[in-house]
C-alpha cells in the first residue's frame, strides 16, 4: 500500500530503489553460564573477535583513498582505539572469568556499563563517543556470531535505499562503492559527518523520518525525493510518471550545465557574488578549478599531521602548499593554520592529553601558540609557497586580540628570517581570522583593526551559539542555522566587517546549501566558500535571486522571532 513520509533534507537528490532495512543491533546473548574449563576457550573466542574486528577496520582504511580517507581516518582510528582500551577489553575478559559468562553476555554487560557512563556526561563531544562504542560493539558481536569467519563480501547494495536509525560515515563509504542509491535515517542530523559525506558523494539522504523502521520492509519500492525531505513507499503509476519527468528534467539540466563554461556567479539583477572552494588535497583543487571557483577560500592543513609517527617537515609542508598554489594559477589560496583538538584527534607526536571538555580546550590557534616551534615551521612553509602565487594565511578558533598579535609577531619574525636567508616569498601575505566562537563575535570590531580579512566558520559558530552538537542526534533539533539568535550573530559579524572595510567570507555547510543562499545575500554576504561539488548549485540559485529586494528585507530577517518566520521570508 502506498504511503508517504516526511523528514529533513540531509543531502539532495532524487532516487528510486528497493528498501534495505537495517535495525539497530540487539545483542542476542547466550544466557547460560559456563564452567571453569570453558573459560580459557571463551576468552580466546573474544580475543579472536577483537582481532577480526581490527583487521576489518584496517582493511576498510586501506580501501579508502584520497580526500575520503582523510575525512574518515579519525573515525576509523577512534574505533580502533576502543578495541585496545583496557576499560573495554579487560572488562569483558574479567566478566567472563569472574561470573562465568559467555563472551556475548560479557560483551553486552560491559557495553551497558560503559554506555551508562557516556550517557551521564554533560559535554556533547564526549557523550557522542557513545555512538563509537555502539558501532565497535556491533562489529565485535558480529565477529563472535560468525565464529571468526570472514564477513560476506558478496553482499551488494546495487539499486537499494538503506532504511536505518543512523549510519557511521565509514559504512556509508563502503555502501556507496557497492551501488547504494540513497539513505533514509530515522535519527541522525543534516549536519552530521555522515550527511556531509553524503553531500560530497551526491548521495540522496533524508533524516528524521520517524517510524520508518516500523513500517517499511525489505524489498519495498521507495521513491526518495531528498530535495524536499520526503519519500513515497510503494509509489503508484502517477508517482512513477512524475519521477520519470523529474529525472528527464535533471538530465536536461546536467546536459546544459556540462555545455556551459563555469562563468561568473551573478544574482538575477547582475550583482557579482564570489564563490570559493574548500580543499585539503590536490584532488579537491582539481574539482575546484573545474567548477570555476574564484579561489581556494579554505585549505585545511591539519590532514598533513594526521595518522603519522613523525611531524611533517617544513620542506614537506612547503611542497604541498606550493603545489596547491600552482594548481590555482593566479587565483588566491587561503591556507588555514593547524586546526586540531576537540573532534579532530591525531595521535602520535601531536597527541593532546585527555581533556574533560575538549571542545573548550587546547585547539586551533591555542595549540599553535603553545607549540611555537611547530607553528613557526608551518608559517615558514606557507611564506615560501607565496613565491609561487597569491597566498593568504588564516588563523582558526581565535578568541582574543592577543592571539592575533602573537601570531602576527611570529609571522613577521619568520618573514625576516627568510629574507635574511634570501628565500623567495611574497612581500604581502594577508593574515586573517576565523570567526567561529562567540568571543570573536563580540570583539569583531577590535579584530577587524588588526586582521586583514575574516572567514566565518559557520559550523562551529552555530554549535557554540546554540549549545548543540551537530553530530548528536539527541539535540539535532536544537542545532538549527535558522535560529534567530544565530542569524543575528552572523549579522553582527557581517556589519562589523563591512564598517571596518574588512573582507569577509563564510564557510561551513550553510555556505554550500542553496537553502540558505537568499538569507546570506539578504544579510550582505558576497563571498561563499564551500565544497567544489556545491558551487554549481549555489551559482544556479544566485541566478534566480534579486539581491536588491533581498537586501531590502534584511531588517525583517533580523526581527524574525522564529524559524517559521525566517522560512516564510526566504520563500517570498
pLDDT of residue 409: 97
- CB < 8 Å & 24+ apart, contacts of 517-520: 517/541, 517/542, 517/545, 518/545, 518/550, 518/570, 519/482, 519/487, 519/557, 519/566, 519/570, 520/490
Report the distance separating Cα 209 and Cα 230, nearest Å: 9
Q: What is the pLDDT of residue 69?
A: 52
Contacts of 19 (CB under 8 A, 6+ apart): 160, 161, 163, 216, 217, 218, 219, 220, 221, 222, 233
Residuewise pLDDT in 10s, the chain (572 residues): 899 999 988 888 999 999 988 866 555 677 789 998 899 999 999 999 898 888 877 776 665 544 445 555 656 666 777 888 887 889 899 999 999 998 888 888 888 888 777 666 554 444 445 666 776 887 788 788 766 555 544 445 678 999 988 887 767 877 887 889 999 998 777 777 788 788 878 899 999 898 888 889 888 999 999 989 999 999 999 999 999 888 888 878 777 666 556 678 999 999 999 999 999 888 888 889 888 899 999 999 988 887 667 889 999 999 999 999 988 988 999 999 998 754 444 455 666 555 556 567 678 899 999 999 999 999 999 999 999 999 999 999 999 999 999 999 999 999 999 999 999 999 999 999 999 999 999 999 999 999 999 999 998 999 899 988 766 666 767 888 899 999 999 999 999 999 999 999 999 889 999 989 999 999 999 999 999 989 988 999 999 999 999 999 999 999 999 988 888 888 76
How many Cα atoms sit within 13 Å of 140 on the Cβ side? 30
The boundaries of the domain holding residue 311 are: 272-571
Regarding whether 15 and 45 lie in a shared domain, the answer is: yes
| Domain count across the chain | 2
Domain edge (last residue) among 228, 260, 292: 260
Which one from 181, 414, 507, 531 is the annotated catalytic residue?
507
In a domain, 405, yes or no: yes
- pLDDT the model gives residue 198: 87
Same domain, 222 and 102: yes
Q: Is 275 helix (H, G, I), strand (E, B) or coil?
A: strand
- Among 211, 233, 260, give the residue marking a domain's end: 260
**Coil vs helix vs strand at 371:** coil
- Annotation says 193 is catalytic: yes
CB 497 within 8 A of CB 454: yes
246 and 335: one domain?
no
- Mark whether 249 and 282 lie in a shared domain: no
Whole-structure pTM over 0.75, yes or no? no
Note whether residue 266 is domain-resident. no
- CA–CA separation, 174 vs 545, rounded Å? 38
Q: Does residue 439 share a domain with residue 531?
A: yes
Q: Confirm if 141 and 106 have CB atoms less than 8 A apart.
A: no
Shared domain check, 188 and 113? yes
Cα Rg of the chain, angstroms: 25
Residues 279 and 143 occupy one common structural domain: no
Same domain for 434 and 541: yes
Co-location of 160 and 74 in the same domain:
yes
Coil, strand or helix at 451:
coil
407 part of a folded domain: yes
pLDDT at 126: 46
User: Do 304 and 451 reside in the same domain of the chain?
Assistant: yes
Residue 265 belongs to some domain of the structure: no
Tell me, what's the pLDDT at 307? Answer: 62
In a domain, 239, yes or no: yes
Interior angle at CA 414, CA 410 and CA 419, nearest 5:
150
Distance between CA 437 and CA 462 in Å, rounded? Answer: 9
Is 521 among the domain residues? Answer: yes
In a domain, 110, yes or no: yes
Question: Which of 79, 102, 181, 193 is flagged as catalytic?
Answer: 193
**Are the beta carbons of 56 and 139 closer than 8 angstroms?**
yes
User: How is residue 407 written as a grid cell?
Assistant: 601570531
What confidence score (pLDDT) does residue 343 get?
47
| CATH number of the domain bearing residue 562 | 3.20.20.60
Q: What is the pLDDT of residue 363?
A: 82
Report the b/e string of 243-267 with b at 16+ CB within 10 A. Answer: beeeeeeeeeeeeeeeeeeeeebeb
Report CA torsion sign: 168, 170, 173, 178.
negative
Say if residue 215 is in the same domain as residue 307. Answer: no
Q: Are residues 210 and 282 in the same domain?
A: no
Task: Kindly report the CATH number assigned to the domain that includes residue 136.
Answer: 1.10.274.10
Boundary (domain end) residue, out of 204, 234, 260: 260
Amino acid at each position: 500500500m502506498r504511503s508517504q513520509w516526511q523528514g529533513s533534507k540531509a543531502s539532495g537528490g532524487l532516487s528510486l530503489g528497493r528498501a534495505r532495512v537495517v535495525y539497530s543491533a540487539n545483542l542476542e546473548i547466550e544466557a547460560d553460564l559456563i564452567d571453569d574449563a570453558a573459560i580459557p576457550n571463551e576468552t580466546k573466542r573474544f580475543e579472536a573477535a577483537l582481532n577480526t574486528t581490527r583487521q576489518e577496520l584496517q582493511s576498510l582504511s586501506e580501501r579508502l583513498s584520497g580526500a575520503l580517507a582523510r575525512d574518515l581516518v579519525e573515525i576509523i582510528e577512534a574505533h580502533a582505539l576502543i578495541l585496545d582500551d583496557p576499560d573495554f577489553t579487560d572488562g569483558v575478559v574479567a566478566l567472563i572469568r569472574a561470573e562465568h559468562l559467555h563472551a556475548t553476555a560479557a560483551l553486552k554487560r560491559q557495553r551497558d556499563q560503559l554506555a551508562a557512563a557516556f550517557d551521564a556526561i554533560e559535554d556533547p563531544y564526549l557523550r557522542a563517543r557513545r555512538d563509537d562504542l555502539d558501532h565497535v560493539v556491533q562489529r565485535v558481536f558480529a565477529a563472535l556470531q560468525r565464529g571468526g569467519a570472514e564477513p560476506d563480501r558478496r553482499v551488494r547494495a546495487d539499486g537499494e535505499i538503506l532504511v536505518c536509525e543512523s549510519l557511521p560515515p565509514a559504512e556509508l563509504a563502503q555502501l556507496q562503492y557497492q551501488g547504494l542509491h540513497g539513505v533514509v535515517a530515522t535519527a541522525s542530523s543534516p549536519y552530521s559527518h555522515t550527511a556531509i559525506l553524503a553531500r560530497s558523494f551526491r548521495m540522496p539522504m533524508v533524516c528524521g523520518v520517524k517510524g520508518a523502521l516500523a513500517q517499511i520492509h525489505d524489498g519495498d519500492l521507495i521513491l526518495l525525493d531528498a530535495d524536499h525531505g520526503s519519500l513515497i513507499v510503494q509509489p503508484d503509476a502517477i508517482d512513477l510518471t512524475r519521477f520519470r519527468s523529474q529525472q528527464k528534467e535533471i538530465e536536461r539540466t546536467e546536459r546544459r550545465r556540462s555545455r556551459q563554461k563555469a562563468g561568473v556567479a551573478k544574482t538575477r539583477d547582475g550583482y557579482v557574488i564570489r564563490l570559493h572552494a574548500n580543499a585539503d588535497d590536490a584532488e579537491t583543487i582539481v574539482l575546484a578549478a573545474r567548477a570555476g571557483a574564484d579561489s581556494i577560500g579554505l585549505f585545511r592543513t591539519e590532514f598533513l599531521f594526521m595518522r603519522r609517527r613523525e611531524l611533517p617537515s617544513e620542506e614537506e609542508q612547503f611542497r604541498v602548499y606550493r603545489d596547491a598554489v600552482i594548481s590555482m594559477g593566479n587565483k588566491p589560496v587561503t591556507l588555514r593554520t593547524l586546526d586540531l583538538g576537540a573532534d579532530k584527534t591525531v595521535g602520535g607526536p601531536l597527541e593532546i592529553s585527555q581533556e574533560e571538555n575538549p571542545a573548550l580546550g587546547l585547539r586551533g590557534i591555542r595549540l599553535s601558540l603553545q607549540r611555537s616551534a611547530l607553528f613557526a615551521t608551518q608559517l615558514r612553509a606557507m611564506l615560501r609557497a607565496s613565491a609561487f602565487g597569491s597566498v593568504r594565511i588564516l588563523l582558526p578558533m581565535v578568541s582574543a586580540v592577543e592571539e592575533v598579535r602573537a601570531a602576527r609577531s611570529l609571522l613577521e619574525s619568520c618573514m625576516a628570517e627568510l629574507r635574511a636567508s634570501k628565500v623567495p616569498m611574497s612581500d604581502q601575505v594577508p593574515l586573517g581570522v576565523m570567526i567561529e566562537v562567540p568571543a570573536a563575535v563580540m570583539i569583531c570590531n577590535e579584530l577587524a583593526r588588526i586582521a586583514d580579512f575574516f572567514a566565518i566558520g559557520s559550523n562551529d559558530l552555530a554549535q557554540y551559539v546554540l549549545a548543540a552538537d551537530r553530530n548528536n542526534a539527541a539535540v539535532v533539533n536544537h542545532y538549527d542555522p535558522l535560529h534567530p539568535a544565530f542569524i543575528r550573530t552572523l549579522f553582527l559579524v557581517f556589519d562589523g566587517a563591512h564598517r571596518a572595510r574588512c573582507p569577509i567570507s563564510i564557510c561551513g555547510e550553510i555556505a554550500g546549501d542553496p537553502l540558505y543562499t537568499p538569507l546570506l545575500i539578504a544579510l550582505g554576504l558576497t563571498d561563499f566558500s564551500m565544497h567544489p561539488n556545491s558551487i554549481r548549485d549555489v551559482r544556479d540559485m544566485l541566478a534566480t535571486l534579486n539581491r536588491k529586494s533581498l537586501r531590502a528585507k534584511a531588517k525583517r530577517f533580523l526581527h524574525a522571532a522564529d524559524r517559521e518566520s525566517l522560512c516564510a521570508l526566504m520563500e517570498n
